[in-house]
Each structure stands twice: as structure tokens, then as C-alpha cells.
Structure 1
């Protein structure tokens, strides 16, 4: 089995980290900035209730545009169209949001009567905003790798096609997207280095990409496949994710889990420090007293 042993003499745990396009799905929220932040900003700017778009995405179950896209079943431009259409369907989305409020025990606010959400514009904003790395998590990864005891595995809901492949299967019409080129579209998405930059992949010992595997979190199969590829049992894994539904399935399969709160990865990394028994964070820079002398 890959890895060594923890200080408490149980088998070493493998570290699973997710990064972006999960939306909200699972595009991120751990190694990279969460796309949920861009969604929340969009909702505020357009007068939508908090979490309305997320409810619209998850309400589609396994067969929505987002879910198909992350499994590699939809190419980019057909995804844009289907995504915008689904998010604009207030008839079903209002029902799902009212059910969400009831489950949470909160008062349902006024809901939109009509929406026209541009799927390309929203997705582009999500991707551009989630392109930066969380340095707290990156530092932890570097320290774990330097220790040489544990494998680090990315288990991510993602879209991995690059270059000409992003439009080859279903090219956009020149009438709808005048002047569009592969280069301009990649720049629009913040994907100049591709959806998964090489500098991200090199952080991991294995990179399990939903769109390449044809499965996505929280489908149990992708967790099992990630473990099988790395020669471990789920009970030998510590799994970090920003979404409760992904963590729930991981727990049911026997993984240890750590929730990564939005905007507070440090708390999750501190929990991981306790599990692994090594220092994963930098000490804060000392603050010089205003009257101190050099």
C-alpha cells in the first residue's frame, strides 16, 4: 500500500483534495477559489435570493447540464445553451427553492417571475473568478509531499478538454458568436493554460478528473475508482471537500472527511494537521512593536 504510518500506528491515510468547477457544485473550493463566490455575487447583483442558482443546479439531479458537462457528456457550447435554459426556468426552480427554504426552516422570499440567464456569461465569470490558488492549501500540499509519507490525490468535478477540442464536437455558429476563436474563448474563461493548468496537476500524485472518467462526485463509483487507481481502501483515505453532499458519500464509503468552509480553509488544514501529526502551515510573520528599535 502506498504511504507510511501515522504516529498512532494505524495505516497511513491518503489525502484527497478537490479543486474548482464544481461548482457548487464541486468546482473548487479547496485548492482554488470557490466558484460559489461568483455565483453569490451574481445573485446579489440580479436581486436573486441567496443560493437560488445552486438550488437550480442541484435540483436537476444527475441529468442537468452542469452534471452532464462534468461527466464529459456535453461539449462547451451546447453546455452554455442548456445551462442558461435550465437556470432561467423559474417555474421549476422556484418550486425547488421553496422546498429548500422549507427544509432549512427559513421564510421563502419573493421569487423571480421571469429570468434570462446567459449560461456562457455566468460560467465564464465563475471560471475566471476561481482561477486563483488558495495558498494555505498549496502550502499544506507541499509540506505533505515533502514528508514523503502520503499520496496526494485530486478527486475533482472538472472539464478537461483543451484547445480545438472545446469546440470540435459542436462548433458555435458564427451568427451567434461573431469573431469567436479558440484563443478568445479560452481567454474569456481564464483558461489560457487550459481548464486544468499544468502547475495545478503537478501538485498531485494522481489527478482523478470527472470529465475524463465519466463519473462525478457524489456518485460512489468515482470514489471507488480513485481508491482502486491508487491501491487503497476507502477507509485509508482522508477526504477534504467544500460540499456536504460530497462529504456525506465519502463518509458512507468509510473515508475520514474534513469540511473546507468557504473562505476558511485554514480551519480545515488545522484539522488535517492533527490527523497527520505534522505542521502544514507557516507561522505568521512577527509583528514589530511600533516603539521597537532595530
Structure 2
């Protein structure tokens, strides 16, 4: 019978999904920016500028459906005054020289952008999958804590049609079963009405699984999420863009066993 390592104080490993278990949507955003001549990180700055009331954040909390999301997000993405102000603030905060010229107008297609983001996030990281399997084989809990869209799989009048699903790479659903089944628990922002970095979202995952924050290792690719988790007492590991191997090495060191030694995962 598999047992948790006796030298480990940890009871669970909590994984972000996009950018950790699957490809990063940020790569899709970066590709869209390059294709349309936008400064690097311009779109991320614009999304962040709307705060928790932005269309992207509301969609992740399941407050609006896909088609309404496209409509509202499209208007937000094409607000050039807000976009330029957000990008100038981003450059100033990081002491970066601003570009010689910022856009005078924007024609960002929300549906095309989101499709590019989702298709980029369709590929699973084989090394991370092996690590999850290895951790579960040791009797530890594996939990997904994800800003995601599984509510879109529930059906209803506003659910994505076959054309939308093909465009997004969601033929198996917004959250395919083969990904869900990797985890003992799947804690999804769209069904819980909470999203990272809200501390209550992290605490919800702990309560559901009977664990304390200090018994958790949390992996994510976004600094604000890691900061929120650390403030609650979780041990955190940053997964850099396309840099999961280093993060898994750190994870193994903290757990006290190799998390990469299973045979090749079946994806």
C-alpha cells in the first residue's frame, strides 16, 4: 500500500493548470501581439487594468458565459486610452523604456485571441504529468487549483457550440477528463465563483481536502498567486515559462523523493 514519505511534513501538492500542467495561455497572447504589431505584454497590461471587474476575471469566476465574454472583453480590449495608460504604467514600474510609439487605435478580436490562448494551452507537460503520478503513488493528495472554465462544460442555452469548441481546441471539453483524472480534487474558479489570488480560494481547497496551508506545496506560474499562497503559509514553487524541469527538481527536493522517475506518461 502506498504511503506518504515519513520524512515529509506535506500532505498535498497543489497545481495550477495553465502554464504548469498544460501550456501557458501567455504564449498565445505573445504570439497574437507579435502578429498584430503590439508591444510585448501590452494585452496582459490591458487585461490587468480592469481588475476583478474585468470581463476576463468575471468569465473565470463563471459570472458570464462565453458569448457574452467575447462581447464585453472585445470592448475592453479595444479601449486604446486605457491600454496605453496601463502599458506606460507597466514600463514605469519596471524602469523599462516605453516604445517609440503606442497604438493610436486597436482592433483586437476577442474570439481570435482567446482561441489562440486556449489552443496554446491544449498540450500537457509530460514531465509534470509524471510528477503527479509519482506523488499519487506515494499516497499524497494532488489537487488542481485553477482559474479555469469548466462551467462551460455544463451545457445550457449559452454553452459553446461545436464550432466554438473546435475553434478553442475544446473538442474534449474546456477541461478534458484525462486532465481531471490526474487529481484527487479539482477546484475550479468558474464553478466556485472565486479565483486566484483571492486567499479564500486557496483556503477553500484546503478545507475541502482536510489540510492546513502549511501542509501544502503549491506550484504556479504567476507571481501574484504564489505571493497570496505564501502569505497563507503554503510552500510555493514558481514554474517559469517553459521551465518546468527546474520546478520539478525543486519539488522533489522539498518532498524528499524523485518526482520524475515514472515511465513516459500516456497523454
User: Scaled by the length of structure 1, what TM-score is found?
Assistant: 0.85
Question: Of 115, 119, 131, which residue of structure 1 is paired with 2:110?
Answer: 119
Counterpart residue number, 1:254: 233
Q: What is the 5 A alignment of 1:55-134? A: 55-109=45-99, 110-134=101-125
Query: Secondary structure of 2:187's partner?
Result: strand
- Cα distance, 1:164–1:202 mapped onto 2, change above 3 Å: closer
Query: Any stretches of 5+ residues in structure 1 without a counterpart?
Result: 20-27, 172-180, 286-294
Counterpart residue number, 1:158: 148
Counterpart residue number, 2:41: 51
| Cα distance in 1, alignment partners of residues 154 and 209 from structure 2 | 31
| Cα distance in 1, alignment partners of residues 71 and 6 from structure 2 | 49
Question: Of 168, 174, 196, which residue of structure 2 is paired with 1:217?
Answer: 196
Counterpart residue number, 2:15: 17
Q: Which has the higher contact order (CA 8 A, sep 6+)?
A: 2
Higher-Rg structure is: 1
Query: Secondary structure of 2:186's partner?
Result: strand
Q: What is the 5 A alignment of 1:125-144? A: 125-144=116-135
Query: Secondary structure of 1:257's partner?
Result: strand
Contact 1:218 / 1:249 at 8 angstroms: preserved in 2?
yes
Please give the per-residue CA displacement for 1:94-122, whole angstroms capped at 9, x wherever unaligned: 11110110110111112111001111111
Please give the per-residue CA displacement for 1:246-273, whole angstroms capped at 9, x wherever unaligned: 0010011111100000011000000001
| Cα distance in 2, alignment partners of residues 64 and 284 from structure 1 | 43
Counterpart residue number, 1:292: none
Residue 184 of structure 1 deviates from its aligned partner by 1.6
Contact 1:55 / 1:100 at 8 angstroms: preserved in 2?
yes
Contact 1:6 / 1:276 at 8 angstroms: preserved in 2?
no
Residue 282 of structure 1 deviates from its aligned partner by 4.1
Higher helix share: 2
| Cα distance in 1, alignment partners of residues 262 and 121 from structure 2 | 26
| Cα distance in 2, alignment partners of residues 163 and 12 from structure 1 | 33
> CA RMSD, aligned part only?
1.9
Query: Any stretches of 5+ residues in structure 2 without a counterpart?
Result: none
- Cα distance, 1:164–1:268 mapped onto 2, change above 3 Å: closer
Please give the per-residue CA displacement for 1:145-170, whole angstroms capped at 9, x wherever unaligned: 1122x10000000111346726x14x
Question: Of 143, 166, 173, which residue of structure 2 is paired with 1:194?
Answer: 173
Contact 2:62 / 2:193 at 8 angstroms: preserved in 1?
yes
Please give the per-residue CA displacement for 1:60-87, whole angstroms capped at 9, x wherever unaligned: 1100000000000010001011111111
| Cα distance in 2, alignment partners of residues 217 and 161 from structure 1 | 16
Deviates more, 1:203-212 or 1:119-128: 119-128
User: Scaled by the length of structure 2, what TM-score is found?
Assistant: 0.93
Query: Secondary structure of 1:153's partner?
Result: strand
